[in-house]
Structure 1
């Protein structure tokens, strides 16, 4: 036993000496006293937050521009309508955002230890809400001006911000902390000692069979499905509910459109900070944080969805309930969205690609289900059915997540290097 401990310590020291930059290139105080107040991880989180903000600004601005284009085309001569290009859809933009999350989760696995993920992902992920709010407010204003031709200005402005953001990202961010030339010794040692990610120099085969038969993975899939289904039901279908049932046009009030996102952002960040404090005091384990955060988000959202059945045709009460329903989803940022990094940090990008695909599919499943129920039947009882279905999904699939999820790294996380067969043609 003693030999194994000594050998393990020697191997860890060797790995640190090999992967860490030379101490002579850094101030000696950082390695002896502690990490800097602003370290490489914070730079990564800040620029990732700004990246998601810009990505969602670009994503939302497309929808805003389409509305402006349609309004402008209405004034054109109808005889020329067959000689115009069809209006664009959101496919290209959504695809761009779709590849962002797997890449981000891969880097989170390498840079952020498990106990820090709740805080950092809640901060990083709030860029989605901030980007949406900024795009909805600034984008609408740009379309109404003559700056750069009106609606084209949203693409120039938000696209230009993306180019500006890319400059510090490529200059300051590195895939792995071991490759960062300016990281302190103390920070590098902290990351390497506490993370579960293992750097691999060889291409490995994805263990598809083990993934497909893994209960924790399917628990994450269940949470991703119900979270996104209820989210898209609330954000894409409630404006129709307000218009058809409560006779209130949300599109004419910028605050009513942006307020749910603001509440969600505040809830996500504040909850992430709160559970981070509890983790540092050893009050909550990583597994408990994941379960508690996901349960709070999905169960409370289910309650609010049911509550929509008793708003008594009052737009103000309905707006309050909707803000609570969307806002209380915020704590999920410290829960299931980072579970892929817990169970398989080496494959976090691949797993997030799978769970995000299912979640994104609800973006058209939820409107399709709602449309099938309310087509030609915009009644209170029909919309109550829509809310009940989403609430039931939340309760059932969240319960599955709570039962089967774990924070333990799965055995199939360490895959064997891929074997490449070479066929030799006889002479």
Structure 2
């Protein structure tokens, strides 16, 4: 990990321009809500301006050449929703679909919005299991539309049971920030090809059970845990079926407020207040033992640095925040006792605030009542951080290097 920066007062020219442009943009956005500032001919031009489509460049989802069975899960206008409970809806299994074997299942989040608004983080959960973590686009007065399509086939077993759908998008509407997000949430079930018959096919390769490692409803926020500093630990207890033979922990991560740009943070001897440097890792423990660590991708949200950089193409991962898989199968032998166990999360060097939760994907041996396992070898070294700085006055470079190794055999 390489990090080069200077204190705020000595920002490089291009960054100074970005922040200046950002300030000008927000000031202009505030003014355009006062109609007295418009010339009549400008009003006419804006009325004829088409809605802008925003998008993220991603790899297309490969779907079978079968007609999907689709239905609308939720239709909602997210206005002033900050600090309120998530929007809930009843999810029922796709019993209306002619075919009950699906090769691909796709979640579609489609939004229109106009006005002025900040970027807002949001999440979609089914039965407490997170399906999507994303960021809203920053709208313009003439209106925008964007669509996020995510392959959620790995949640197959979850989708075959009635559940409670929860969506949290904390938005604030004022006389200046007027944008309301008009959301349609749809799921598309693509039938397996006829020639698959009754064979296992792609739809048989996913986990038999998915357990939420997230906060429980009811609450006035997202279902994610909030990590507020480097010593904060959030956890969730669970019980695993005794006939499990594989387990994978899928972890969702997003970073905000003082740590939104953590990869640009200065070492503490160069910053006031302390910024804890440019290294972060999400540490995951099982019953107090570290089982894995995540070095998160540096997602830049749609308002990052300057909103004009992300119109209409958004930053990588901003619409599709990645999740991270930790293989916990080697540890199954220690938790197949029918007793309660606990996953916990912390963030090295964290500042306020990180949103983290997880989904435990479990594969079951249907021919066995109880499986057996043993942890044979487990080793995780602490992260060794090396920092070299070279400054002349207030300008300089900082090189941060981190080494860590992990190995588990069961």
TM range (shorter): under 0.3
Query: Under a length normalisation based on structure 1, what TM-score does the superposition of the two structures give?
Result: 0.24
Query: Under a length normalisation based on structure 2, what TM-score does the superposition of the two structures give?
Result: 0.25
